[in-house]
Amino acid sequence: MAKTRPGVPSKIKTGRKELDTYTIKGTNKVVRAGDYVLMRPSDAGKPPYVARVERIEADARNNVKVHCRWYYRPEESLGGRRQFHGAKELFLSDHFDVQSAHTIEGKCIVHTFKNYTRLENVGAEDYYCRFEYKAATGAFTPDRVAVYCKCEMPYNPDDLMVQCDGCKDWYHPACVGMTTEEAKLLDHFACAECSSDDDVKKSQNGFTASPADDVKVRCISLVIACVNALLVYNASFCRRSVCNLVLSVQFDGALLSVKDTILGSVWICYLLNVAPVLTAKHSIC
């Protein structure tokens, strides 16, 4: 390889050629700008990286490079993977890069959240993205997310939820004292609040495909911060839910018991740097 002589400007900028397509080595799969690709990770044990191809070019020696924008997996984000993140969830990052085309292993599809929840079958190549993510600050766009159930968590499309015929909110079976198997057998479901209400109008079908996004909305960073605050306090919440925990907070000599907005309470504790004391575990654990 020729050495760059001092005083001689490098020729990096010259001899580049924009390409319309690149055919993945050993396949007949053609990649174009705008396509989603899987790239070989540096650590062979890790899942492939996912990126959106912005531009493809060849240098003077015909090495093909792809300009790409990375998708991050929840575990690569500052807040980490949490129970409401689906297995196929990705965040569109603001991290742009140039990679050798040889690292492309295959193609995939990154669906919108809505389209993903409507898929009949989810294949290995199907992913979804509902947030853009700023790698430096950990901020999400949009910063609001619909939340459901008593636990006020965003929808994880991997988890079955049941809709209440009355209030139309969606519930995790575990949060309303049911197993997933029991929930699957239900034709109708009314939450505890609605089943005590005589005026519940029964709808024809207790289930629809997925939660509508017209209910409660929370700040996504706050949801993540609260769940993480619970982890900081080593709170023993069960598999998914923080909903039925009863927290007691020792603050300024007063013992406050909080039943309702648990996440909000935990967040306040976190801000005040007061450790909440768990007095009761999840009701069905």
Residue number with CB closer to Zn ion (78 or 160): 160
Query: Which string of x and - marks every residue 132-171 that binds Zn ion (by CB under 5 A)?
Result: -----------------x-x------------x-xx----
Residue number with CB closer to Zn ion (132 or 193): 193
Residue number with CB closer to Zn ion (147 or 225): 147
Provide the token pair at 104.
Answer: 């492309």
Within 75-229, strands assigned E span 89-100, 104-112, 126-133, 140-141, 144-146, 162-163, 170-171, 217-219
Residue number with CB closer to Zn ion (127 or 171): 171
Count residues near Zn ion (CB under 5 A): 10
Residue number with CB closer to Zn ion (23 or 195): 195
Select the span of 23-31, 84-92, 185-193, 272-280 touching Zn ion (CB under 5 A). Answer: 185-193
Query: In the set 90, 175, 230, 247, which binds Zn ion (CB under 5 A)?
Result: 175
| Number of H-type helices and E-type strands within the chain | 5, 17
Residue number with CB closer to Zn ion (119 or 194): 194
Q: How far apart are CA 207 and CA 20, in angstroms?
A: 46
Q: How far apart are CA 151 and CA 243, in angstroms?
A: 4
Instruction: For residue 107, give the amino acid letter.
Output: K
Select the span of 25-33, 52-60, 133-141, 241-249 touching Zn ion (CB under 5 A). Answer: 241-249
Query: Which string of x and - marks every residue 13-52 that binds Zn ion (by CB under 5 A)?
Result: ----------------------------------------
Q: What is the DSSP string of 118-158?
A: T-SS--TTEEEEEEEE-TTT--EES-EEE-BTTTTB---TT
Work out whether 246 is an interface residue with Zn ion (CB under 5 A): no
What's 221's DSSP letter? Answer: H
Query: In the set 191, 242, 245, 249, which binds Zn ion (CB under 5 A)?
Result: 191
Work out whether 242 is an interface residue with Zn ion (CB under 5 A): no
Work out whether 58 is an interface residue with Zn ion (CB under 5 A): no
Work out whether 194 is an interface residue with Zn ion (CB under 5 A): yes
- Residue 133 C-beta: closest distance to Zn ion, Å: 24
Phi, psi of 256 (to 5 degrees): -100, 130
230, 80 Cβ separation under 8 angstroms: no
Work out whether 172 is an interface residue with Zn ion (CB under 5 A): yes
Residue number with CB closer to Zn ion (127 or 155): 155
Q: How far apart are CA 216 and CA 191, in angstroms?
A: 16
Instruction: For residue 208, give the amino acid letter.
Output: T
- Residue 26 C-beta: closest distance to Zn ion, Å: 45
- Residue 64 C-beta: closest distance to Zn ion, Å: 48
What count of Cα atoms within 13 Å lies in the side-chain half-sphere of residue 186? 23
Of 145, 125, 134, nearest to 85 by C-alpha is 145
- Residue 240 C-beta: closest distance to Zn ion, Å: 7
Of 96, 67, 84, nearest to 131 by C-alpha is 84
Q: Which residues bind Zn ion (CB under 5 A)?
A: 149, 151, 164, 166-167, 172, 175, 191, 194, 241
